[in-house]
A and B are shown apart, each in its own frame.
Chain A
Amino acid sequence: MTSTLKPVPWALHAGVLAVAVAFPFVFPSSFMVNFGVMALFYAFIGQSWNISGGYAGQLSFGHVAFFGVGAYAATIVQLRFGLSPWLGLPVAALAGALVGGVIAVLSFRAGLRGSYFALITLAFAEVLRIVSNSIGITGGGLGMLIPLKVSSENFQFAERSGFYFLILVMAAGSIALAEWLGRSRFGAQLAAIRENEDSARALGINVFAEKVKVMLLSGTIGGMGGCFFAQYFLYIDPLIAFGADKSVEMLLVSMIGGAGTVYGPLVGAVLLALVSDVTRSLTQIQGLSLVLYGALLVVIIAYLPNGLIDLFTRKRRRRDGAKK
């Protein structure tokens, strides 16, 4: 892995942001804007996984738990309590953080690491799926349909670009968070925990507390992603909210792009969105995009184990090396 503690040059951030802002003006068709929304959405929830899995090394198979809890919390606040859907965003963030904190405290207190932690997160997500399927307030297996009422106060934009810019702000925020990790003491401590917990402890790092903190953060992002998803598609049910496929996607976009890097999830998400849109327009076979994506993953893990980002950093390193 390329070092996570190297700050990304500001010019690169500015360039990426400029391209992202210009995108819906250059490609205003609703197909293309939808593509942009999905890419940024996966970049956003991928960053949720990346922060705990890539930066802190706590690999999880159940990150959809945060996403689903956020989606349900926001929708319940709106439909059952009649509050503004915008309020759903902070509520979803809180709900995600809460679930992240609970999972973290329970599993890290029990000393679960590595594959055991991955499996327990998967179990938590499955439990939440079953619970959401069987209790009343979530609408059970029928799910919840958010009534269509287009107005920006109602979190429903007449133009898709409204959603685009909202998710752009969210994704930019998550990227800023990752960038901060690379520059901060917290991020350095997470990298230390990822590399060697005993050494981290020996140097005075409270490993348990830092791991709980990172899961709170990760849960916050995942929860907000769930709220956005529910408002964009206006429908959630237990399988959409807690399906294992979304956990896999959150993990894959990070791994393919480059786990533990600022732009890994974005790079992976753009690729995922591309693959899924291209396959969908070429064939009717359900899920073919994930098959293709899986094949891509095999190729990338074989040749670029640190993710696509490595293509760029490798080149930079070679140039740096030449200078010396």
Chain B
Amino acid sequence: MMLQVAHLSKVFGGLRAVDDVSLDVEQGRIVALIGPNGAGKTTLFACIAGFLPLNAGRVHFMGQDITGLPVHRIARAGMVRTFQITQPFAKLTVHENIAVGAYQKYPDRAQSWEHARMVAHQVGMEALLEQPAADLTVAGRKRLELARALATSPRLLLLDEVMAGLNPSEILEIIAIIRKIRDGGVTVLLIEHVMHAVMSLSDHIHVLSYGKIIAQGSPQEVVSNPAVIEAYLGRGSAAPAADVQAQVQHA
């Protein structure tokens, strides 16, 4: 098992942002974490990656208990996150941004810069290498987040909405890139709102609502789950759908 989260809770004042969440991510898979806005997805990511202290629960990464470890230790162990609101090293070039990630794996300058170039090629940013990160478009910044994390040669990537704000053709490109990353041996856990991307990419989906996991399973299982439909569309929405299904079965 690549990642095991057990009974994780995070409380902000009176708000249980993440409430007794348990989830497993198997090696070599693309696993999605979906849920309505404010469900606690990003908070859960931050807790897993060590950015926020937990109120309860344990996190195991590749069999090791990483609960409470500082962020950089978790990252060096091979679990690297990206940020929903992109956080580029604005005044550095794209190449330098990615090289910072690559340096974590290759201390030698020439090697890390070469590795950075290779990663840039992988995510389709080769033409932008010499651009300052500050000049990138939203799509470019999202890609840079991905590239920088990928350059550290992680075992598990936590991708926080890397498709938000992209146009349909950019989304298709990113989907292909993420698939290639998984095929290269990196396990992926992603938060995403773009449903067709989630459906086509994920092997497994966890649904978070009000801080709790309300459903999980294959994409097909999850979309037909009444609890999920209710979480997204409101109480009662699942019933007509069930009626329709019942009628179909009747006929």
Contact = CB atoms under 8 A, between A and B. Distances in A.
A204 interface: yes
A203 B80 contact: yes
Interface string A169-211: 0000000000000011100110110011011111111110000
Contacts of B44: none
A17 B112 CA distance: 30
A32 B49 CA distance: 59
Contact of B89 (A183, A184, A195): A195
A189 B103 contact: yes
A192 B148 CA distance: 11
A3 interface: yes
Contacts, number: 82
Contacts of B93: 3
A21 interface: no
A206 B74 CA distance: 11
A204 B92 contact: no
Given A204-B152, A206-B72, A198 B87 contact: yes
Contact of B103 (A1, A185, A195): A185
Contacts of A266: none
Range for the number of chain B residues in contact with chain A: 20 to 34
A200 B49 contact: no
B87 A184 contact: no
Contact of A203 (B90, B96, B132, B148): B148
Range for the number of chain A residues in contact with chain B: 20 to 34
B100 A202 contact: no
A309 interface: no
Interface in B79-128: 80-83, 87-93, 96, 99-101, 103-104, 107, 109, 112
Given A5-B92, A204-B72, A183 B109 contact: yes
A185 B152 contact: no
A191 B88 CA distance: 12
B235 interface: no
A188 B96 contact: yes
B233 to A, nearest CB: 34
A206 B83 CA distance: 18
A205 B83 CA distance: 16
Contacts of A201: 51, 70-72, 75
Given A3-B96, A191-B96, A192-B100, A202 B80 contact: yes
Given A185-B112, A188-B96, A203 B101 contact: yes
**A-B complex: 10 closest residue pairs judged by Cβ atoms:** A204-B75, A195-B89, A199-B87, A204-B104, A185-B103, A204-B76, A201-B71, A192-B100, A206-B72, A1-B91
24 contacts: A1-B91, A3-B96, A184-B109, A185-B112, A188-B103, A188-B112, A191-B89, A192-B100, A196-B87, A196-B90, A198-B51, A201-B70, A201-B71, A201-B75, A202-B81, A202-B87, A202-B149, A203-B75, A203-B80, A203-B148, A203-B152, A204-B76, A206-B72, A207-B72
